[in-house]
Amino acid sequence: MDKTCASAAEAVADIGTGSSLAVGGFGLCGIPLVLIQALLEQGATDLETVSNNCGIDDAGLGVLLGAGRIRRTISSYVGENKEFARQYLAGELELELTPQGTLAERLRAGGSGIPAFYTPAGVGTLVADGGLPWRHGPDGSVVVASPPKEVRVFDGREYVLERGIVTDFALVRAARGDRHGNLSYDASARNFNPLCAMSGRITIAEVEQLVEPGELDPEHIDTPGVFVQRVVQVGEEGKRIEKRTLRPRPEAAR
């Protein structure tokens, strides 16, 4: 039952080229930065990522993107990464853009064994009708576009069918975890992490604090250990602020 790994490198060693990854976090909050760096050093390429965003130019999934390791991504927000925009518009990266709530539910559904579900989000748009540019050609033309999705009417309202997401691996970050894989997140760092942890066939968690089984308050366990296969302790390593803003000191405003 002891799921701990000695290092992040050991934890990601079997992530192979062509693997799909669900990656927790929102912006740089709750991002498994240490595992991502270990994967960069490990060398796997041709990856498909599922994450709310794709990091920034020099942090998070942005480091894998900058190294040309990501082939395709399913995301809901991609506006903080210039290299992402360059690769996408140049036809080097495929993007399946998904509404944020739909992405969250697709991850939850996949982790719950639900193959698909209906949602009103996206009805009447390219999300449902098809035609979203997934991949561009070098000349800017659309080479691959999203297909139309099934739309049905329930109680007089239209709903679009969305597929659940299951990935080969999931990378998440938690504030606390025990040796059985039970995880607890702090505040907004919870974000997509529990959903990504559910959707991975093999879920790898980096934790700031590793405790013994029974030390976590059962009421504060956000991800049960049944969803987690590997745990690695990283301490505070890797945490950073995405956008630092400062207000003037009161005496300076006079």
- Domain contains 197: yes
What is the per-residue DSSP string for 33-93? Answer: HHHHHHHHHHT--SEEEE-SS--BTTBTHHHHHHTT-EEEEEES--TT-HHHHHHHHTTSS
Q: Can you read off the two tokens belonging to residue 22?
A: 């669900």
**CATH code, domain carrying 171:** 3.40.1080.10
Question: How many domains in the chain?
Answer: 1
Q: Can you read off the two tokens belonging to residue 245?
A: 């803003």
- Domain contains 37: yes
Residue whose entry in the numeric block shows the structure tokens 């709750």: 30
- Domain contains 77: yes
**What is residue 237's predicted lDDT score, i.e. its pLDDT?**
64
Q: Show the DSSP H helices in 73-229 as ranges.
A: 82-89, 100-111, 126-129, 193-199
- Domain contains 97: yes
- Domain contains 244: no
**What is residue 35's predicted lDDT score, i.e. its pLDDT?**
96
82: containing domain: 8-115+164-233
pLDDT along the chain (254 residues), means of 10: 95 97 90 95 96 87 94 91 92 95 97 97 96 94 96 98 98 96 92 96 97 93 96 80 74 62
**pTM assigned to the model:** 0.91
**What is residue 253's predicted lDDT score, i.e. its pLDDT?**
57
